Structure 1
Amino acid sequence: MDRSHEVQLIAYADRFGGSLAGLRAVLDGPLRGVFTGVHVLPFYTPFDGADAGFDPVDHASVDPRLGDWDDVRRLAGGYTVMADLIVNHVSADSAEFRDVVARGDASPAAGMFLTMSDVYPDGADEEELTGIYRPRPGLPFTAVTLGGRRRLVWTTFTDRQIDLNLAHPAGQAHLARVLAALAGGGVRDVRLDAVGYAVKTAGTSSFMTPHTLAFIDDLTAQARALGMEVLVEVHSHFERQIEIARRVDRVYDFALPPLLLHALFTGDAAPLRRWLQIRPANAVTVLDTHDGIGVVDVGPDQIAPDRPGLLTPDQLDALVEGIHARSGGQSRQATGWAASNVDVYQVNCTYYDALGADDDAYLLARAVQLFTPGIPQIYYVGLLAGHNDMDRLARTGVGREINRHHYGAEEIVADLRRPVVRRLLELIALRRTHPAFGGTCAVTGDGGHVVLTWRHGEHVAALNADVAAARFTISTTPAPAAPPPPAEDPARAGTRAPDPAGNG
C-alpha cells in the first residue's frame, strides 16, 4: 500500500472529541479531508489511570466511557488507525497482579511479572545494578509482598506500572492476546511503547541490547502476521535509531523536534541538515507528542558517553534554556524535578510556546516536518497551535499535562479559524495532495538554509527554509487536481487549497 501521502493526527479520544465516536465526529466534521490516519492514544481500561492510559488494568478492553471495539472499527473504516501496544508493563491494579499479590506463586499469573531474581537468580553486585539503564534516578525495583513473601518487583517507570516477564509463557500470552484484540479492532499500525526497556538481561544495561532487538524482531513478525505494521518508540542515540529502522516498518524521528528548535534559536542549520541527510526514511515525523520534547535523541549516547550526539552538551543546555526563556518560564515549572515527571530528560512545553508563540517560526518548523520523508503525525494540541495549559498543570501537578489540554467542540472550531492554524492546514493539504511527495526527496542548502526538494516524474515540490530569518518559501509545479476551494465555514477549514508560493 502506498502511504506516501499519508498524514496522521495524534490525539486522546477524551481530550479531542470526548469519546471514540466524538473523535471520529471531529475528523469527519471540522477536520474533514485533513487527515488520512489517526493515532488514538490509549483508550484501554482505564484511559485516565496514573499515567494517562499507559498503565492499563485491562489492555485488551476499551474503556466503556470512551466506547467499545465497534467504535474503533468504525473509526478504522475511514482512517488508518494506530494504537499502542504497551509492551513493558501493566497496572498494579490489574486483576492478574492483584491475584499474584494475594496468592504469590500459587497464582496462575505468577510468571507474568518480573522480579529481580528472575534476572539475577544468584544476586547482583553494585556494578551490575548501577549498569542498568533507566531514564530516571534510582533502581527499577519496588518491594512488594506477593503471597506473604517480600519480593523486589521490576518497575522501570513507576511503582504503579509492573513490568512483564516476557521470557515467560504468561507474559508472552498477554502480549499475544492484546495484539489479537488490536487486529480484531481494525488497528492497522501498532506502536510498541517503551519496548527498549522490555527485555532485561543480566550483565547488560537491559536497554536496547541484542536480546531486545531479537525480541522486537519476533514481536514485529507477530504483528505483521495479523496484518499490522509496527512503529517502534525508543528515545535513544541517533545511530541506534538508524539501526532499529532497518528491522521494523517505522521508527520515530525524535531528533527532528530538538534540531529544529536549535536551528531556529541559533540560525545554525548544520546539525539539522546533517540529520536530514542520514536519517532513515521509514520514519514517523513528529514535533510534539503526548510526552515532552526529548533531548536525549540528539545528545551523546547515554550508555556510551564517548559517542557524540548531533548536538554537544553545551548546545543541549542552551536549547533547554532557550525553551524556558521563550515560554516565559512556564516550561521550567513543568520540567525535571519541578513537577511529578516520569522522565526528567524531556522538556514539557507545547511546541508553539517553545518557539515563543512565533507564528512564522512555528509554520517553518511544520513545513520542514511535512517535507521530511516519512509519515507526518500532528499532535492535536500542535494542530491548533496550542498554548501551555498552566491551569491543568496547577491542578494535576504533573508536568506533561501542560501539553495535554482538553478541547471542547466550540474551542476546536474557534481555533480552526486562527490564521496560524489555517496556514498549517494548507501545508497539510499540500503534503496530502501534491504528486511530488510520491517520489524522492533531496536535501541541500548551506548557512542558515535547509532545502528539501521532492521530485516524482515531472512533478516538483521544494521547500527553502531560512532558519535565521524564520522565513520559508515553497515552489511547486501545478498539481493535476487542486483541492476544493477555501471555505468560510470552519467545518471545511481543512480543505483549503495550498498557496503555491507558500511564503511563511
Structure 2
Amino acid sequence: MKNNVQLITYVDRIAHSDLKGLKQVLDTELHDLFGGVHLLPFYYPIDGSDAGFDPIDHGKVDERLGDWNDVKQIGQHYDIMADLIVNHMSAESTEFQDVLAKGKQSPYWDLFLTKESVFPNGLSAEDQAKIYRPRPGSCFTTYTLADGTEVEFWTTFTSNQIDINVHTAAGQAHLNNVLNRFHDSKVDLIRLDAAGYAIKKPGTSCFMIDESFAFVDELAKKANSLGMTTLAEIHSHYMTQIDIAKRVDMVYDFALPPLILHSLFSKDASALTHWLSIAPRNCVTVLDTHDGIGIIDAGPVGNKAGLLTPAEIDNLVNQIHRNSKGESLQATGAAASNVDLYQVNCTYYDALAQNDVDYLIARSIQFFAPGIPQVYYTGLLAETNAMELLNKTQVGRDINRPYLHVSDIQTSMQKPVVKALCELIKLRNTQQAFNGEFSMSYDNQQLHLTWKNGDDTANLIVDFAIKDAQISVTNKQQSQRIVLTELLAKHKL
C-alpha cells in the first residue's frame, strides 16, 4: 500500500455512477490526489438494509455498478481496499433461505450461528449480561423454518444480518471464496469488517476475546499468503487497538478523530499528544468514514480509564451537537434507526461548525500523524450534513452518506477550503520526509509534529491558543512554508 493519501467512497454515491464512472472521476476531477481507494461494499445488493454491509452474495458485484473486471481495472492504477464482511450475511441470501426451507437438512445449516450452537445448555441470565452489544436490543432474532420450528439465530447488528459460524467448514469456505475473489481482482488491502464480533464463547463478552485475536491472526495469515494486506476494523478501548495492531498488518486510528475535536474545542492537546506517543505505527488514519465519529475509542470502557474522562467525552459530544445546530442529535443514538451506541453521526466539517481554519488544522494533524491517511468523500468535498436524506431514510448514518453527481463534485472542488485541502493532500503525497522518522513535542498550547528522512524534513506547528498552524518542508529542491490561514485566504481571492 502506497504511503499516499487514500480515498474512502461508495461507488454509487460519489458521482451517482458505477465502477467505470468512479475511475473516470479519479482520473479527472480527482486527478493526482489519491494513491488508492477504499471501495465501500459494492457487492450484491448495494442498497440493502445496511448500505451493502449485508450482502446477499458477497462474491458478486452488484450489476448496477459493473463486474469484477471493472474492479480490476481500477486496481491497475490505484491501490484498492475492499471489505471482507467477516461476521454476517443477509437473511435474504440463497444460503439462509435454504436453511429456512430445509432446516438442519440444508448444506448451509452450519454456516450460521444459532443460540443453541453457542449455548447448547441454554443461555443463562449471567451469560447474557456479559455479551457486549454495539446496538440496542437482543443479539438474537427468531426465524420460523418451513416446518414450523422456531430458531433463534445470532444477529449482532440487525435482524437482516445473520452471523456466520466461522469455525465450521462452511464458514471457512465462505471466507476463503471471498479472499480468492479479491486476489483475482487486484484487491491489495482487506478491511476486516466487524471482525471483533466473529467469535462467540459462553461466559464471555463475545467481543474481542482471546479467541477473536487468534481468529484475526489466522485470517491475516491467509490474506498475506495471497499477497494481500489486512486492516482490522475494531471500535473499542484504545488498549485493544494497541493489542490487535500486533496481530494484523494495519489497524485504524479511530481514537484520532475525537481527540482532534477535543483538542480544538478545549484548546488543550495533551490527551492527543499522549495518544500519539503510544499509538500503533502500522495504522490507517481517518477523521471521517461511512460510519459515525467514534467515541468509545477515546473514552473509558467499564473500569478502564480512557484517553478522555467521562466529563470530557460528554463535553465533546455536546459540542458536536451544538456545532451542528442539533442536526447530529437527530441522527445519533435512539433518534434514528440502525444506531451505534458508540458513535456520533455527523459530517466532520459540521462537527467543527463549518469552520474552515479548524477543519484544515484537523486535516493537517491527520496527515502528520503516524500512519497512512484516508479521506472520506464527504470530507474531501467539505460536505455538510445530508438532512434531506436523513429525513427520508431515518437511518442515522445517512447524514454523512449523500448521493452526489459529478456536477456536485465539480462545484465543491471550487470551495476555498477544498482547494486548500487538495494542496495539503498533494504535499503529503510528494514529500519524502513522511517515509522517515516521526517525532513530536507539546508545550504552551503548541503542538509540534515532525518527520525527518535524511535531508528531507516536514514540520507542523499547531497553536491551539490562537487556532492557527503552519507547515514547513525542506528538501534538496526547496524550502517551503505554509500558514493555513494564508493558504485559505489565497483561495478566497
Q: Which residue of 1 aligns with 2:489?
A: none
Residues 464-493 of structure 1 show CA distances to partners (whole Å, capped at 9, x for unaligned) of: 0122322100111145389xxxxxxxxxxx
Confirm or deny that 1:63 pairs with 2:44.
Answer: no
Distance 2:151 2:129 in 1: 19
Closer, same or farther: CA 165–456 of 1 in aligned 2, 3 Å: same
Instruction: State the AA in 1 paired with 2:159.
Output: D
Q: Which residue of 1 aligns with 2:90?
A: 91
Q: Which residue of 2 aligns with 1:434?
A: 431
Partner-residue secondary structure (3-state), 1:452: strand
Instruction: State the AA in 1 paired with 2:380.
Output: L
Residues 191-236 of structure 1 show CA distances to partners (whole Å, capped at 9, x for unaligned) of: 0000000010111111001100000011001111111000000000
Distance 1:479 1:348 in 2: 44
Q: TM-score, normalised to structure 2's length? A: 0.96
How do 1:399-414 and structure 2 match up within 5 A?
399-414=396-411
Q: TM-score, normalised to structure 1's length? A: 0.94
Task: Choose the corresponding residue for 1:306, options 303, 308, 316.
Answer: 303
Confirm or deny that 1:443 pairs with 2:443.
Answer: no
**Size of the alignment, in residue pairs?**
483
Q: Which residue of 2 aligns with 1:43?
A: 42
Distance 1:409 1:436 in 2: 34
Distance 2:64 2:319 in 1: 40
CA shift, 1:446, in A, is: 1.7
Residues 393-430 of structure 1 show CA distances to partners (whole Å, capped at 9, x for unaligned) of: 11111110010111111110111111100110011111
Q: Which residue of 2 aligns with 1:474?
A: 471
Partner-residue secondary structure (3-state), 1:357: coil
Partner-residue secondary structure (3-state), 1:151: strand
How do 1:344-423 and structure 2 match up within 5 A?
344-423=341-420
Closer, same or farther: CA 503–342 of 1 in aligned 2, 3 Å: closer
Distance 2:447 2:124 in 1: 50
Residues 147-166 of structure 1 show CA distances to partners (whole Å, capped at 9, x for unaligned) of: 42211100000000000011
Contact 2:328-2:344 within 8 A present in 1 as well:
yes
Q: Which residue of 2 aligns with 1:263?
A: 263
Partner-residue secondary structure (3-state), 1:309: coil
Distance 1:169 1:318 in 2: 48
Partner-residue secondary structure (3-state), 2:297: helix
Distance 1:153 1:468 in 2: 53
Distance 1:224 1:481 in 2: 39
Contact 2:360-2:484 within 8 A present in 1 as well:
no
Percentage of pairs with the same residue = 53
Partner-residue secondary structure (3-state), 1:298: coil
Closer, same or farther: CA 459–405 of 1 in aligned 2, 3 Å: same
Closer, same or farther: CA 176–481 of 1 in aligned 2, 3 Å: farther
Unpaired stretches in structure 1, ≥5 consecutive residues? 483-498
Contact 2:455-2:475 within 8 A present in 1 as well:
no
Partner-residue secondary structure (3-state), 2:158: coil
CA shift, 1:447, in A, is: 3.4
CA shift, 1:139, in A, is: 2.5
Cα-Cα RMSD: 1.2
Distance 1:440 1:385 in 2: 31
Closer, same or farther: CA 444–356 of 1 in aligned 2, 3 Å: same
Distance 1:467 1:114 in 2: 50
Task: Choose the corresponding residue for 2:9, options 8, 11, 29.
Answer: 11
Contact 1:129-1:139 within 8 A present in 2 as well:
no
Unpaired stretches in structure 2, ≥5 consecutive residues? 486-493
Instruction: State the AA in 2 paired with 1:257.
Output: P
Q: Which residue of 1 aligns with 2:206?
A: 206
Contact 1:370-1:431 within 8 A present in 2 as well:
yes
